[in-house]
Structure 1
Amino acid sequence: MQSSYNLGLVAFSLVVATLASYTALDLADRISLLAYSRSRHMWLAGGALAMGIGIWSMHFIGMLSFSLSIPIGYDFAVTCYSLAIAILVSWFALHVVTLDRLKMSGLIAGGTLMGFGISGMHYLGMAAMKMTPAIQYEPAIFAASILIAIAASTAALWLANTLRGAGPNRLMRKRIGAACVMGIAIAGMHYTGMAAADFPVGSICGAAGGVKPQWLALAIIPLSIAILIVTLLLSRLDARATFLSNSITRLNEQIDRIQGPAR
C-alpha cells in the first residue's frame, strides 16, 4: 500500500526526542542529589511521567508524520496502554541511572529491559491502528529495530549515569550533545520499526472511527512540549532553592562558630 511521510513532522519528532532526552539527563542529575526519600520518590514519579510522555509523544508524532491512502485512526485503550509502558520504562531508567553504583551487568540488563520496553511501546502503538489484515513485519528489519532500541537504551543509561554529578565545566555542552545522540537513537529505532512494517494492498484500519490523527496532533504536540519545559523549569528552580537553602545553613554555621568563642 502506498504511504508517505510529512518531513516537517519527522523533524519535529526528532526535536521532541532530543528534548525528552535532555530532560531525562537533567532529572537524573537532580534525583541523584536527593537524599530525602520522599522528595526522591516524588521526582522519580514526576520525572517518569514527563520523560514517558516525551518518548511516547515522539513516537506518535512520528506516527502522525506517516500517512496511508486510506482513513486511519487509533484505538483509545491500546494507545493509553502504550503510554503506560513509556512511563513505566522511564521510571525504570531514572531509577537505574540514579543508583549509587551502576555496574556493567546492571547497565546491560537495564538497557536490554528498557530497549524491549520502548520496542513494546512502539509496536503496541502500531497495533492501535487495528489494521485488517494485520500489519506484516520484515523479520530482519524488525529485529534490527529491537537491537537499535537496546543499544540506544544502554547508551542512554551510560550517558545519564556518567554525566550526573559532573563538574560545571562544559557540562551544558556535554548534556546537549548527549541528548542529541539519545534523540537520534530513539528516533532511529522508531523509523526503523516503521520501515519494517508492510501494509498489504486492500488493508482497512479498524480504528478509523476512533481517535483521529488530527486530534492527536492538536493534543500531543503542545502538551508534550509544555510538560517537558515545565519539568525542566521546576527542576532548575528546585535545584536553585536547594542551593540557596544549603548556603544559608552553611552561613549560619559559620556565624555560630565565630560567635561561639565570644560568648
Structure 2
Amino acid sequence: MIDGLDPIALTHDPWLVALSIVVAMQGAYVGLSLAGRVGDAGGLRRRALVLGAAVSLAVGIWSMHFIGMLAARLPMAVDYLVVPTVFSFLVCVMVVGAAMLFAATDQPLWLRLGAGGAGMGAGIASMHYIGMGALAGSMTMHHAPAVVALSVALAVGASAAALWLCFEAHRQVLWASAIAMGLAISGMHYTAMAGMALHAAPGTGSQFHSTLSPDGLALTVAIVAFAVSGVFLAMLTPERREAGAAAAADQAGAGAVDEPPTERDAAYAVDAVARPAPLGGAGARSRKPFAALTVERAGAPLKLPVEAIRCVRANAHYTYVRDETQEYFCGLSIGEAEAALDPARFLRVHRSHIVNLDHVTAVRRAGDNGAVDLAGCGTVPVARGRLAALKRRFEAEQSARVRPLDAAE
C-alpha cells in the first residue's frame, strides 16, 4: 500500500497477450520488408517506402500496446485520453521512421546499428510510456526505475538485432528479423507492465462506456492493423518485371553498337524494366536479360553489350556503367539495371554496385565490409551481408574454370 491507497492486482488475458504479440510481429514483418527496399529506391518511391515502413511498424507497435492494455484486467473502467494517445502514435512514426532511414544508409555498420537501434528502441519506449499516460481512471500509477531502464535496454537491443537481420543478413531471414522486432515490442511492453504498480484512488471513476467488450475491441484493432499493413505491402511491393519484349528489342540492335537508338526505343527500354506485370507476374513468361544497355558517351547514346560491362555504379536516380576503358552514363536506376542484367553473370554486391562475375579477380574482407577486385575496373565495395554470397559465387566460378583445364590435360 502506498500513501493509503489500495494496491490493484494486475492479471492478463493470455489470448489477448498472444494476439498482441502476433500483431507486433506482423507489423514488424511488413515494416522491415519495406525498409529493406529503401536503399535500392530513389525519389518519390524512396519517400513512399520510408513512410510505408514507418507507418506499418508504428501501427503494429501502437496496436500491440493497445491490445496489451486491453489484455490487462482492471477492476475499474478507464478512459483513453485522445491527445496523449495520438501523440504517442506520432512520436512512434517519426522516431521509428528516422531510425530505419538511417539504418538504410551506407554509414559504418556500428553507427547504423547503434544509432538506428537506439532510435527505434527509444521510439518504442516513448510510445509506451506516453500511451500509459493516456489512461485516466480512479487509480494512481507508479513505475520502478530499474524496470524502466531494463525495458528500454530490451527495446534497444532487440531493435538493433532486428535491423541487422533486415539490412545486413541474407534476405531469407526477414522472418527472423520480424520475430526479433515483435519480441522487442511486446517484450518491452510486458516488462514495463511488470514494473508498474497500480493503486486504487478515490474518485468518480471513468465516464468511458464502450459498446464493445475488451475482446471485441482488441479484435477490431488487430483487424485494422492487419488491413493497414496489407495496404502498404500491396501498394509498395514491386511486382515481377516483364522485360522480354525489351530484351528482344535490345538483342536485335546489339550488333550495331555505335548506332544510336531513337528516343522512343530508349524510353520503351526504361519503361519495360520499371513496368510491373499483372498479379505479380504470375503466369508470365520468364524474364530474358538484356543483350545491351542504352548508355551515353559524350552526350551521344549508344548500346553497350552486356558482356563488355565490368560494373554498374549508382548515382542518385541514375547509374554509371563501366567497361574496360571508360565509364558511361545510363538512365536506368540501380534497381532497373539489376533487373535488366542476367543474374547468372551479374551480382548486386552493394546497394550502389553491381559487378560482372566474369571479371572478378579477387574477393576479400575490408574492415567491417568487403571488397572485390575487377580486371580493368579497380576495386568495388561489398556490403557485409553480401560478402559470403559473393565468395561462394566466385569460388564456384573458379572451380568451373579449372575443371575444363584439368579434363583437357
Other-structure match for 1:107? 113
Q: Is the 8 A contact 1:70 1:204 kept in 2?
A: no
Q: Give ranges in structure 2 of 5+ residues lacking alignment.
A: 1-7, 260-409
Query: Does residue 93 in structure 1 map to residue 99 in structure 2?
Result: yes
SS in 2 for 1:100: coil
- Which of the pair has more CA radius of gyration? 2
How far 1:105 moved relative to its partner?
A: 2.5
Deviations 1:91-136 (A, max 9, x none): 1132022213443123212222221221110011111003555310
Other-structure match for 1:256? 253
- Which has the higher relative contact order, 1 or 2, with Cα contacts under 8 A spaced 6 or more apart? 1
Q: Is the 8 A contact 1:76 1:210 kept in 2?
A: no
SS in 1 for 2:73: strand
Summarize the alignment of residues 1-263 of structure 1 with structure 2, pairs less than 5 Å apart. Answer: 1-34=8-41, 36-131=42-137, 134-163=140-169, 166=170, 171-172=171-172, 174-202=173-201, 208-210=206-208, 212=210, 214=214, 216-217=217-218, 219-236=220-237, 238-240=238-240, 243-244=241-242, 249-258=246-255
How far 1:251 moved relative to its partner?
A: 4.3
Q: Give ranges in structure 1 of 5+ residues lacking alignment.
A: none
Other-structure match for 2:364? none
Q: Is the 8 A contact 2:31 2:52 kept in 1?
A: no
Deviations 1:25-45 (A, max 9, x none): 2112222221x3111112211
Name the aligned partner's letter for residue 121 of structure 1: M
Q: Is the 8 A contact 2:114 2:160 kept in 1?
A: yes
Other-structure match for 2:300? none
SS in 1 for 2:80: coil
Q: Higher strand proportion, which one? A: 2
Name the aligned partner's letter for residue 186 of structure 1: I
Q: From the superposition, tell whether residues 260 and 96 of structure 1 become closer, same or farther in structure 2 (CA, over 3 Å).
A: closer
Name the aligned partner's letter for residue 235 of structure 1: L
Q: From the superposition, tell whether residues 131 and 141 of structure 1 become closer, same or farther in structure 2 (CA, over 3 Å).
A: farther
Q: From the superposition, tell whether residues 203 and 224 of structure 1 become closer, same or farther in structure 2 (CA, over 3 Å).
A: farther
Deviations 1:33-60 (A, max 9, x none): 21x3111112211221222111111111
- Counterpart Cα distance in 1 of 2:97 and 2:82: 23
- Counterpart Cα distance in 1 of 2:159 and 2:58: 14
Q: From the superposition, tell whether residues 54 and 248 of structure 1 become closer, same or farther in structure 2 (CA, over 3 Å).
A: farther
RMSD across aligned C-alpha pairs, in angstroms?
A: 2.7
- Counterpart Cα distance in 2 of 1:18 and 1:70: 30
How far 1:186 moved relative to its partner?
A: 1.7
Name the aligned partner's letter for residue 98 of structure 2: F
State which drifts further: 208-217 or 104-113.
208-217
SS in 2 for 1:198: strand
Q: Is the 8 A contact 1:96 1:102 kept in 2?
A: no
Q: Is the 8 A contact 2:138 2:200 kept in 1?
A: no
Q: Is the 8 A contact 1:64 1:217 kept in 2?
A: yes
Provide the TM-score with structure 1 as the length reference: 0.84
- Counterpart Cα distance in 2 of 1:160 and 1:205: 49
Q: Higher helix proportion, which one? A: 1
- Counterpart Cα distance in 1 of 2:248 and 2:107: 32
Q: Is the 8 A contact 1:135 1:198 kept in 2?
A: yes
Other-structure match for 2:397? none
- Counterpart Cα distance in 1 of 2:204 and 2:81: 10
Q: Is the 8 A contact 1:97 1:160 kept in 2?
A: no
SS in 1 for 2:207: coil
Name the aligned partner's letter for residue 61 of structure 1: I
SS in 2 for 1:199: strand
How far 1:227 moved relative to its partner?
A: 1.1
Q: From the superposition, tell whether residues 248 and 101 of structure 1 become closer, same or farther in structure 2 (CA, over 3 Å).
A: farther
Q: From the superposition, tell whether residues 218 and 181 of structure 1 become closer, same or farther in structure 2 (CA, over 3 Å).
A: closer
Name the aligned partner's letter for residue 230 of structure 1: V
